Structures are given as C-alpha cells and as structure tokens.
Structure 1
C-alpha cells in the first residue's frame, strides 16, 4: 500500500502544473548524475556552493509540496538562482539538458503566480491546454457530465479547436485507454467528448502494487476493498471507487489503514475535480478506544447542536439530521515513522469533533426522483432561520458540490470546523476524553484555548485567505467572533514592533463567543441542507472578504510570516520478505535522497 500511495506522485505533479513533472525528473536526474554528492556536482558544473545551496533548498521545497506551488496557499515558488546557473547544472548529462529545455521558461517565470481559474496570473492543470477556459464553460461541461451520470472527480477538461469549432475533451483517469473519444453532447459553445486513459501509466503501476498488497490482506473485506479500488482505477468508474469506500468502512479496527484515490477537490477552482491522494497509517489502539466511545454516544451530542436544540422530531435530532448517525469505524492514525505529538490537547479534540460530528452530521433534503422526497413535502419542516416551511431542496440529479460549486468545499469545512469548536464548550463531552475540573488541564482550559486558536487561525488565514478552503473557513469564523462585540475577541496592534496579539475575554465565551459560532453554524447548515445556494453565497462571501483593517493585519502577517515546514518522510522496503524502514537526515540532501530511493 505504501508503494501504491507513492506511485500517485506523478498524478499529483500532472495535476499541479505542466512543468512540475519535468522539474521533478530534473532534480532526480541531477541526484543520479552525482550519486548524491552535491559538492561533486558543483565542481562538475562550475557553480558556487551558495548557488547550489539555493537550488537544493528549492528542490526540497518542491519535493515537499509535490509540485512548484505551495500545498497550502497554491502560490508559486521560484528558485533563487540565475538562468546561467540553471544552464550550467543542466549540462552535466544529456538527460538533464533535455529536461531543462522543457522547464527553462516556467521554472523561473513569475506568472502564473497562483493556481486558480486559467488567466494571465493563474493556471490550473485540471483545465490543461493553451486555450483558457471560463467558469461558465466549465459549468456547461460539468452539467453534461452530470446528465450522463459521469462523476467529475477523476477528470480534467481540455479545451481546443478542432477544425473550425471548439472542442472540450474530458480526460478521465483510468488504466484503460480509449482509441477514440466518445461524443457526449453538442452545445452552442462546442462539442463535448470523453476519453479514458489519463494517468494510465501511474494507475497501472498502482494496480500492480495493489495486486501485491492483496497477498497480505487480513480478511475478505480487505481483499474486496482492494479489488474495488483496482476496478475503479482500471475503468475510470467512480461508482466502483464509492463501492470500495463502503467496503472500507466495514473493515473493523484494522491494524493498518489506507486512503487511496481521487478524493479531495480543494485545488480545483471549480470545486469538483479531485487531487489524487495516498496515505498509509498505523492505528493507535488507546486513542481509538476513546474515539469509539464518542461514536457510540454521538446521538447525545448531536441533539445539542443548534439545528436540533428543543426539537421533538427525529428522536430529538430534528428534521435536518439523519435518522441514524452513520457511525464510522473511527481509528486514530499516525504516519509511518512520523509519530508527531499533537500541538496541544485542544487542537486534537477540535480535529476529532470536526471529522466525526462535523462531517458526519447533516441531512440533505432532496427530491431523489420526480415526486419522491426524503421529507414530507405536504408538511415541509420549519426552517429555523426564517420560521417558515422550507421552500428549496435538491432537485433530481443535483449534488452538493455540483450546485454550490466553488464555495462547496470551503462552506463544508467551515461548517465542520464550527461543529468542532462549538462542542469544545460541552464539558460532558470533554470529560469523556479525561478533561474535568479536577485534571491538570481542565475542560474550561480547553474551551478557552479553542477560542484563542480561532483568533490566531483567523490572522494566519489572511496570508493565503483567497486560495485554501480551510483558511477561508477560519477567516469566516474569525470575522464572526470579532462581530460578537463587547470586546469578546480583540486584536491589539503594536505599530512599533509590527506585532499583533490576540485577546479573548474568557468570561464572555458562553455569552458572546459560543452564540456567534452557533449563528454561523446554523446558517451554513441550513443553507447546505436546503440547497439554498444564493443565500449561502451572499452570506458566506460577505464573511470571507477581507477589507479595511484586515488588509493591514495581512501586511503584518506577511512581514512576520514563518518559514514553511517540510517533512522528510521515511521509506519502507521488503528485504528477505521482511519489512525494513529507512529514515533520512532532516536536510535538503536527505529530502532529495528519500525521493530518489522511492523510484516513482
């Protein structure tokens, strides 16, 4: 499974930017050329040690982000070297010289400076090609895919001109390669076709790794999970992937957990196409026991969320919540060889509540097919925001991400973050994890720390507030808490030292802080449940637009911006049938060596 995950690297590179793949190959070719002896390379290419050091720093950041744009923020980073330096180091081998021809211009170019809808200043490899595609065009193609029951997660859209008309080729990730594209529809704007075989080589290697993994499956459920993953990668059918996920959750408390596939749509500006993701984790048994207890008691705490308070329907959970909480087989994972301590107790619980009770709650009210509803259409539930019966819901064929588009993932993350933060005031819930009035770290301490974190997270979000869904969510929560008034949350600006300090009035958490979160949470939840995209967009975009003093705070955050962290991950190998782990020095050289030895 480790090998399968790492073989997704080249898919991610292709999804980030056209130049990412040749830059990756260029770095590894230089490593091979000198055998990891970078001093030897400097002499051979006649470059200074300082200049080479700048390039190696770039290489390490590139490998840590799997591409030449930051994983958080989606902003481009450029090596602090000259074109002459690049030409000299590329001359060490014929292969390096050939690769340099492909990356010479884009690696040093200032623009596109970020990832987003294709323009003069942004690019997106989910929409490759020389012709820029508009949001309107993407929406039209996406609607055709929806009409043809084709999921967008593993697709990219290539716009081109064939003959005298526009053509939109939907590239679908699969091992199987279509010889000819299949026509889907003919619009006024152009012809829409689909063609399988995107990422074919990488997905083929992943399937080979899964064949090997199946030999070590602990039970038939794991075998079926692997087979369904393979079928999805082989054919491009996302329904097969969904089946694999249904199987995955039936594998109760495995020793090793894994996530693999086209999962999160954060980097697609349209918010529907997913970046490939691979993770292998080892279960922490003690933490998992606590999380299992939370899952079994989840209904109790769901009844305390803003949309369920005082409701007598649905066993006290209200009409905007599922009848049965879909209890996951929740496990606490740690990355192989990277057993990080959580930054503090509050952050850990925030993450737990976010994932389990944030993403795990909510009922989308919908018309499954004409005339068939999952709620009483004759007596619609009362919307707590208006006091009147709901008047909107999901129509047949509509989905959450398809309808809400570019704000879907950000709104969902904000809703989940709010659930996690809101429940940090529930002392009974915190006591389940061992935090009481008698413990060294009390429940009230965690509650207070949570609001301090929200203040800090809101300021940090200003650095990349336009380009990362979690950061946009944090900024929305930050503005909501500032708007609570009465100096509950305030930011002190030291103009001499260019410093910002967060202050939270602990005595006003229950009177100001928690109600502000409840209001934000209730609005987002109801908009999501009732498919009220227009009201949601108006409400949310107002909360996520920085202006006035926020722009000054952003300037200060940029001045004091800490360096981004990169992590040198270990490798695992089989030697004589036994697993062996190899760790590397926490240096730029160690980072490059670790990637060279992965052989992806």
Structure 2
C-alpha cells in the first residue's frame, strides 16, 4: 500500500488533550456522596473492556499491550523517559508512539469514536516493535506479536470502517458470518418475544447456521432457552456475555447502595444490580423509572447499555456510564427553560395530536463530569432511550458544563471568515450552551402514535390528519415496535437531527435567549454564532463521510450536514460557501447573512423539522428513511469540498479523566496532566 494511502489512516499528530476539571465540585460533596460517586465511577469503568469488545473484538490485545507495557511490577506507571532511552528511537518517533497509545485509550478502540474509521500509528511496525522489545517484558512482546497485524492492517482486504460484516466492515455486535437478513429475522423474533436487544450480541454457528443471542450478565448459569425462527432456524438465548466485567459492575453497584441519598436512588441501584446480574430488560426499565423520579440529586449518574449509535442496525447499545456533580448556578438557567417548556413546545411545527398527551417537564441540570466511561464524551444528554418510559414519565436533560467549556490554546477554526473570528471565539461556547439546552429539551418532545397488545390506539384514527398528506393517518407503531426497531440504522442520526432542528427553530425567540441572560445585541450575536457554528459543523461533517462506502461514520455529523443542506437550499443567499486561500492553500469560508436568520433560515429548518417529526410520530419508516437518506446524500460536487475539509481538519479533543480512591475511610481524587502520558497513567491507575 502506498504511503499516501497509509497517511489517510494515521493517528492524529498533535491531539489536543484537556484535563476534565471536576475537583472543586467533588470537594464540596459530603463523605457519603463522595463514596457514592466513587463506587458508581468504578461500576462505569468496569465496563471498559465491554466497549472495546463491542467496537472491535480484535482490539483487546492492543489494550492489554498498552496496560502491560506502561505498568511496572507493582502495577504503577513506568517512567516513559527510561523506556524512550532504552528503545533508542528518535524523540519524534517516541512521541508518535505515545500519541497512538493515548488515542487508543481515548477512543477505547483503534477505531475513532467520532467517525468510526480505523487509525494506525505514525511509525513503522519495526519501530513500534523495537520500543516494545526494549521494555524487556515478555508479556508485552507476546501481546505485540498477537496484535501487530490488527494495529497496522489497512490493505485492500482489511476492514477499516465500522459497520455490517456483510459490507466488509467491522463490528463486535455480530459474528462475521451474520447477514443483514439474519439480523432482520432475529429482530422479528425479539419483537414477538418482547426481548430487549440493547444488552445483546448475535452470533451464527458456521456449521449449523443456528443463532446464539448472547445476553450480557454477571450470571452464566441462567437457563438457556431455544426457539425456532420463522424460517425454521434455531436461536438460543444464552447468558454470561461479558461475564467478568458484568460481575465487577454488579459488585460496584452493590457497594454503592449503602450510600444512596434516598429511596429512589436505592431502588434504582437495586434494579441496576438485577439487570446487570440476570440481563432483565424489565429491571433496566424499572431502574430508569426510579432514576427519573430521583430529582435534583447532588450526584447524578446513569449507567448501562445506553446508546445505539455504533450498532450498524441501530438497536443494540454500547456500554457507558457517567458520574457528575450538579452545577447549581448553571442549573438555575435550565430550570427556567423547563418551567417554560409547555410554552416553547407549543411553538413546535406540529399540532397537539403529534405531541405527548401530558408534557412531563424534564429534569434539566448542568453537570460537571467526574467520570465518563465511553469512547467519546458528548456535550449533552437526554435519557432514557426507552420510549415506553419517556412517553409516560418524561426524561432528564443534562448539559455537561466542563465538556462544553474545555478549550485548547492551539485550537483553530477553519472556514470562519476573518471578520467573524473574534465574535466566533467569544460566543462559540456560550451559544453552544443555548443550543445544547434547547436540543436536549427537544429530545423529550413528540408523540409516537401506537397500538397496544389489545388493539387500543393512543390517538383517534378517525380524526387525526397527517399534515404531509392531508389524509387520515395510515401508519403507526404496532405492538413490540419502537422507533429504533423501525428506523433501524438511521434512527440515532435521525433523532439527533430532529433535536438540532428544534434548537435552531426555538432559539430565535427572544424569551428563550433571555432565559440564558442574553438580551439586545448580545442575544443577536449569540443567535448568529449558533447558526454559523451549525453551518460550520455541517461543512466539517464531510470528514466523516466515506465516498467509497457511501457511508456516514458519525450520527451527529450526518445530522448537521443535513441541516447545512437545508439552510443552503433556503435560498436568497442565506448561506454561501465561497472559495478562498489560507496559508497558500485552497480553502473556503462561510458567508451567513445574519439579517435573514428569522425570515429565511429558521423557517426552512422548521419546515424540515416538521417532516422529520411527522414521519417519526406515525412510524412511517418507509418514507421517513428515504427522506432522511435523500437529505444526507453527498453528491459528487461536494467531493472537492470534502478534500478541503480533510486537508484542514482539526484533531478532536481527548479528555484526561481523574480517578478516585478510598483510603483511611476517605475518598481521594487524583488528577493527571493533560497529555498522552497523563491519559495512559489514568488508565494504568484505573486498573480495568
């Protein structure tokens, strides 16, 4: 393979590391709250290996290699200067070596958490091997030999994208012989038997073609049940997937129970323990119900198989868990947003027939993250992702303050005009805070028209008119069907797009901007930068589109590209992308007419939002999927722009997280430097 092709997959050269600052908020907790936070952090991080296995099953030896290579005999971080000196390699090569290892830990895989594309070291395998051998660790050398091919393979037969095995891609959710038809067949069975797929993986025996549905549980001796599928094939539901991790998760949850702040927290933890022990979907749903009833906790946490972004089918969920402390001052703003939620939701472009019968005001808090076990930390969260729970009990909206505010001094902002740059830097984070708030509020809106097992509808089929057709509603969710099961692989991106559109549709209203303490010219500047930032995000999203596979690698970026398309098609030169030259290279800059946001831009986004919502509400997956695929298709005339985007791309931030330890009946917090070495040390001391 040519060097030019290999360079496409090189790990970022100088990734911006940012320390996740949480100590001031942690120190304000009581000892009981600190112990609760400690054990829930442990529970979250005990699932680290689950994330790696779900993403790329071949990557586990790489993780073990990193932990082994950088640990001494006592399990402490080694002096990397000694390793560098012993290896005899150049400083540049050793820095590239550290960067690769740290980026693996940041993504918890050798595939990017934001983009789903493989990355490889910027040094040769010979240089990598030389460093490993200089450690003198036989185990590290053995692990390198096991993982070398996986670390470096990018040839024609290599799988460099996450996705369906049938399409030549990588996934840990399915065995390589599983086809899309197999997945659909099993999905029918799961809906019929009311088995949640969230905590499962699917495998097929190469000899018998029979299936195994592996459920993640701490117990492995639970009775396995065998069933016949529609086509006569057999499927066995077995337990004990990710068993060692799940045992540790359940043990940490159990240790947290004595430190629960109230009865709702205690019941939530008990249901978490049950679902992680025996895989019960009912127990997981109950844990989320109790979580929703635990309002305004000092320590907020959520854990489990949560987001379905990485499953190519969009129904199986990745392990994650977070622990955070409430930022009381910032939360006051979000509480004002929540108290006015009925008014703001009434402005959304669909009638009351398509809105939830009872709007449960969401619990909306601003959090400072203590720990987040995931391959990529978001800026905001709306949970739970269980429509049977949220349609009745509502949801919690969370803004992660120390994620939004984290900055790197070397950060650059391609495609922003020179005359906009100062304003952009000043208001980018502040406008994003407004966007995250209204975005997460948006996730909690919208009714799903559905039919229960007794044939009862939650809407009047004789009276409700589909505004897109002018006729009575013809489609809705049948028993066992969910938005994810019907909209499949695009469901996550589709919903993120809907929420982003809600943010852009609602934010031009002055009363919303006032909630965040912005009025007059400053409010207008905030609104302008919000729209400009969305346009820039839609442009930079092209990095995450693979023209050869015609596949998007990141749900949020696919959504933002769709919105950029909508705004560009709004007309009247609302947005133009003009060619320019930066540092002697071809580039482009975004020209957005701020005077036309309310009269041109926002109405175009609102009309697009209306269609997204109606297709979702009516369960019209056939037309909804096609509409979204058309909206996110990348035509060849965009390819030249994509080349410019890739040539100007900025590395994504990596967050170095702290660890907590119990010593002498106290909980101590240890922070690490914002560097590749700090990232590696944090995982060495985490011992997962």
Cα distance, 1:115 vs. partner? 0.5
Moved over 6 A (4+): none
Q: Note closer, same or farther for the CA distance 1:62–1:305 as it changes in structure 2 (3 Å cut).
A: same
Aligned with residue 60 of structure 1, among 81, 84, 102? 102
CA distance in 2, matches of 1:287, 1:451: 23
Q: Is the 8 A contact 2:404 2:433 kept in 1?
A: no
CA distance in 2, matches of 1:22, 1:227: 34
Q: Secondary structure at the match of 1:331?
A: strand
CA distance in 2, matches of 1:302, 1:120: 41
Q: Is the 8 A contact 1:401 1:408 kept in 2?
A: yes
Aligned with residue 530 of structure 2, among 435, 450, 466? 450
Hey, what does 1:37 align to over in structure 2? 79
Q: Note closer, same or farther for the CA distance 1:23–1:320 as it changes in structure 2 (3 Å cut).
A: same
Q: Is the 8 A contact 1:11 1:276 kept in 2?
A: yes
Hey, what does 2:418 align to over in structure 1? none
Matched, 1:167 2:210: yes
Matched, 1:319 2:353: yes
Hey, what does 2:610 align to over in structure 1? 522
CA distance in 1, matches of 2:58, 2:95: 22
Range that drifts further, 231-240 or 337-346: 337-346
Q: Note closer, same or farther for the CA distance 1:149–1:519 as it changes in structure 2 (3 Å cut).
A: same
Q: Secondary structure at the match of 2:358?
A: coil
Q: Is the 8 A contact 1:112 1:120 kept in 2?
A: no
Aligned with residue 680 of structure 2, among 565, 577, 592? 592
Range that drifts further, 205-214 or 526-535: 205-214
Hey, what does 2:553 align to over in structure 1? 467
**Mapping of 1:53-452 within 5 angstroms?**
53-91=95-133, 92-110=136-154, 111-119=158-166, 121-128=168-175, 131-162=176-207, 165-178=208-221, 181-188=224-231, 190-308=233-351, 318-336=352-370, 339-340=402-403, 342=405, 343-356=428-441, 358-377=442-461, 379-437=462-520, 442-452=522-532
Q: Note closer, same or farther for the CA distance 1:214–1:184 as it changes in structure 2 (3 Å cut).
A: same
Cα distance, 1:44 vs. partner? 4.3
CA distance in 2, matches of 1:114, 1:274: 18
Q: Deviations over 1:217-275 (max 9, x none)?
A: 11111111111101000011122111101101111211100011000000001001000
Matched, 1:541 2:583: no
Range that drifts further, 383-392 or 588-597: 383-392
Cα distance, 1:518 vs. partner? 0.9
Cα distance, 1:101 vs. partner? 3.3
Hey, what does 2:571 align to over in structure 1? 485
Q: Deviations over 1:292-344 (max 9, x none)?
A: 22212211111111113xxxxxxxxx100012112222211111299356342
Q: Secondary structure at the match of 1:344?
A: helix
Q: Note closer, same or farther for the CA distance 1:302–1:295 as it changes in structure 2 (3 Å cut).
A: same
Range that drifts further, 89-98 or 573-582: 89-98
Hey, what does 1:531 align to over in structure 2? 619
Q: CA RMSD in A?
A: 1.9
Does 1 or 2 have the higher relative contact order (CA < 8 Å, sep 6+)?
2
Matched, 1:555 2:643: yes
Segments of 5+ residues of structure 1 without an aligned counterpart are 309-317
CA distance in 1, matches of 2:529, 2:355: 29
Q: Secondary structure at the match of 2:363?
A: coil
Range that drifts further, 195-204 or 85-94: 85-94
Cα distance, 1:388 vs. partner? 1.9
Q: Secondary structure at the match of 2:499?
A: helix
